[in-house]
Amino acid sequence: MDNIELFKEIVSKSDNIVFFGGAGVSTESGIPDFRSKDGLYNQKYDYPPETILSHTFFVAETKEFYKFYRDKLNATTYEPNITHIKLAELEKEGKLKAVVTQNIDGLHQKAGSKVVYELHGSIYRNYCTKCKEFYGPEIIFDDPTKEIPTCKKCGGIIKPDVVLYEEGLDDEVVSGAIDAISNCDTLIVGGTSLTVYPASGLIRYFRGKNIILINRDNTSYDDMASLVIHDSLGNVFRNI
Ligand code: ZN
């Protein structure tokens, strides 16, 4: 039996699957991994993305932050790919219990997934730093002439509900993700090298039967997996 057949068999036998995904899930929708150092950022911006997307930078250089954010992180025009779609179908069938994602692009929800733990937040939620009023993505993306988006009620500066460097993760999201991972029998991990915190820590909560790793390259977790598939997520998911 080849790896894809084995994958299909594990999925067909399980009704308690959790999917844990990283940037690689969305690259097939055309969204680049903003953590990858492709040099593009360096041509146009004076700082690396890790600096611009930090809490300190947001506070000190809000205008510059938003220039980069609008340019690089506006995923509202992208569409879910086959992996997002298949995961949403598996949830509808009752086989998949949750998606845990490091992505902020909202594509799992766009594909129809309901239970999604967004470890790093979402570009679809934004809030006023003064009065905490929530806004959708339009407050940031619809009017790029307004360099710093502000609250319509109180004039406070809007901040994306996205976890910036130096910021902690949301406790409720993390505990939801831990619950899902520690109670599932099959954990599918895809599109992440598992090097970014807290991914590596979270999958240690798994106590079930099968961990399936889908990644183009080797990861340091290949040894603990019951099945490792070195292929693109799309190639794997279009088979189920
Ligand atoms: Zn406000």
How far apart CA 187 and CA 208 sit, in angstroms, is 8
Retrieve residue 68's tokens.
Answer: 């980069």
Q: In this structure, how many other beta carbons lie within 10 angstroms of the beta carbon of residue 167? A: 14
Quote the pLDDT of residue 5: 95
Quote the pLDDT of residue 219: 83
Q: How far is the CA of 106 from the centre of ligand 1 (A)?
A: 24
* Nearest of 87, 82, 122 to residue 102 by alpha carbon: 122
* Residues 6+ positions from 226 with CB-CB distance below 8 Å: 10, 209, 210, 211, 212
Q: How far is the CA of 148 from the centre of ligand 1 (A)?
A: 13
Quote the pLDDT of residue 124: 98
Question: Is residue 24 predicted with pLDDT exceeding 80?
Answer: yes
Of the pLDDT bands very low, low, confident and very high (cuts 50, 70, 90), residue 224 is: confident
State pLDDT tens for residues 178-223: 999 999 999 999 998 887 767 778 999 999 999 999 998 888 888 8
Q: How far is the CA of 178 from the centre of ligand 1 (A)?
A: 33
The amino acid present at 143, given as its one-letter code, is D
Which one has a higher pLDDT value, 120 or 41? 120
120: annotated active-site residue:
yes
Q: How far is the CA of 154 from the centre of ligand 1 (A)?
A: 4
Quote the pLDDT of residue 194: 82
Q: In this structure, how many other beta carbons lie within 10 angstroms of the beta carbon of residue 58? A: 23
State pLDDT tens for residues 66-111: 999 999 999 999 999 999 999 999 999 999 999 999 999 999 999 9
- Tell me the mean pLDDT in the region 7-22: 96
The active-site residue, picked from 55, 84, 120, 230, is 120
Mean pLDDT, the chain, integer? 92
Helix ranges (H only) for 15-137 are 24-27, 40-44, 49-52, 55-60, 62-72, 82-92, 107-111
Q: How far is the CA of 206 from the centre of ligand 1 (A)?
A: 41
State pLDDT tens for residues 35-73: 665 544 445 788 888 899 999 999 999 999 999 999 999
Q: What percent of the chain has pLDDT over 90?
A: 79
